[in-house]
Amino acid sequence: MAEKGVYFAYDSNMWFDQMHRRCSDAKVLGVGKLHGWKWIVSNSGYANIIPSPHDVVHGVLYELEAHDEAGLDYWEGQKSTKTEVQVDVMKYKDSLSQDLVTIFTYVDANNVQEGTSKEEHTGRMSKAIADAIREGIPAGYFDIHIRKFIPENWKQQQTLGTSKDQPGPATLGNNTVYFGYGSNIWLDQMKRRCPNNKFMGVGKLDKWKWIINTRGYANIIPAVPDLVYGFVFELTPEDEKELDTYEGSGYQKEYHSIDLVEAKDTYSAGTRTALIYIDTERLKEGISKKEYVYRINMAIKDGLEQGIPKDYIDRYLRPFIPPLPGDNSSTTPVLAPK
Residues 131-147: tens digit of each pLDDT = 999 898 988 899 889 99
CA distance 8 to 64: 11
How confident is the model over 298-326, as a mean pLDDT?
A: 95
Residue 159: is its pLDDT beyond 80? Answer: no
Average pLDDT in the chain? 86
Cβ-in-10-Å burial (0-12, 13-18, 19+) of 320 comes to buried
How confident is the model over 267-278, as a mean pLDDT?
A: 92
Residue 78: is its pLDDT beyond 70? Answer: yes
Tens of pLDDT, residue by residue over 94-118, are 555 555 566 999 999 999 999 999 8
Identity at 268, one-letter amino acid code: S
Please check if 74 is assigned to a binding site: no
Confidence of residue 20 (pLDDT cuts 50, 70, 90): confident
> What's residue 97's pLDDT?
52
> What's residue 333's pLDDT?
38
The pTM assigned to this predicted structure is: 0.60
CA distance 256 to 275: 7
Domain with CATH 3.10.490.10 in the chain: 5-155, 171-317
Poorest-confidence range of 22-31, 197-206, 209-218? 22-31
> What's residue 112's pLDDT?
95
Please check if 270 is assigned to a binding site: no
Poorest-confidence range of 59-63, 133-137, 230-234? 133-137
Confidence of residue 158 (pLDDT cuts 50, 70, 90): very low
CA distance 239 to 190: 10
Q: Give the contacts of 289 (CB within 8 A, at least 6 positions apart).
A: 21, 22, 24, 71, 216, 217
Cβ-in-10-Å burial (0-12, 13-18, 19+) of 278 comes to buried
> What's residue 2's pLDDT?
40
Please check if 161 is assigned to a binding site: no
> What's residue 124's pLDDT?
86
Q: Residues 33, 34, 36, CA angle at the centre, nearest 5°?
A: 140
Q: What is the number of other CB atoms lying within 10 angstroms of the CB of residue 7? A: 25
Residue 189: is its pLDDT beyond 90? Answer: yes
Poorest-confidence range of 211-220, 297-306, 320-329? 320-329
Tens of pLDDT, residue by residue over 241-267, are 899 888 877 788 888 889 999 999 889
Q: Give the contacts of 49 (CB within 8 A, at least 6 positions apart).
A: 10, 34, 37, 38, 39, 40, 57, 105, 107
- Would residue 63 show up in a list of annotated catalytic residues for this protein? no
How confident is the model over 140-168, as a mean pLDDT?
A: 63
Identify which of 159, 135, 145 has the alpha carbon closest to the alpha carbon of residue 41. 145
From residue 131, alpha-carbon distances to 32, 59, 141, 178, 226 in Å are: 14, 11, 14, 28, 41
CATH superfamily of 171-317: Gamma-glutamyl cyclotransferase-like (3.10.490.10)
Identify which of 29, 183, 162, 40 has the alpha carbon closest to the alpha carbon of residue 99. 29
CA distance 94 to 4: 14
- Catalytic residue, chosen from 69, 120, 234, 247, is 247
Q: Give the contacts of 130 (CB within 8 A, at least 6 positions apart).
A: none
From residue 224, alpha-carbon distances to 136, 221, 260, 311 in Å are: 52, 10, 20, 18
Look up residue 159 and give its DSSP letter: P
Poorest-confidence range of 1-5, 185-189, 276-280, 305-309? 1-5
From residue 73, alpha-carbon distances to 69, 160, 219, 291, 304 in Å are: 6, 26, 21, 18, 36
Please check if 292 is assigned to a binding site: yes
Q: What percent of the chain has pLDDT over 70?
A: 86
Greater model confidence, 83 or 100: 83
- Listed ranges 112-126, 173-187, 318-332; the one with the highest mean pLDDT: 173-187
> What's residue 110's pLDDT?
93
Characterize the bridge pairing of strands 218-235 and 175-180: antiparallel
Please check if 179 is assigned to a binding site: yes
> What's residue 120's pLDDT?
79
Q: Please check whether residue 166 is in contact with residue 176, taking contact to mean a CB–CB distance below 8 angstroms.
A: no
CATH superfamily of 5-155: Gamma-glutamyl cyclotransferase-like (3.10.490.10)
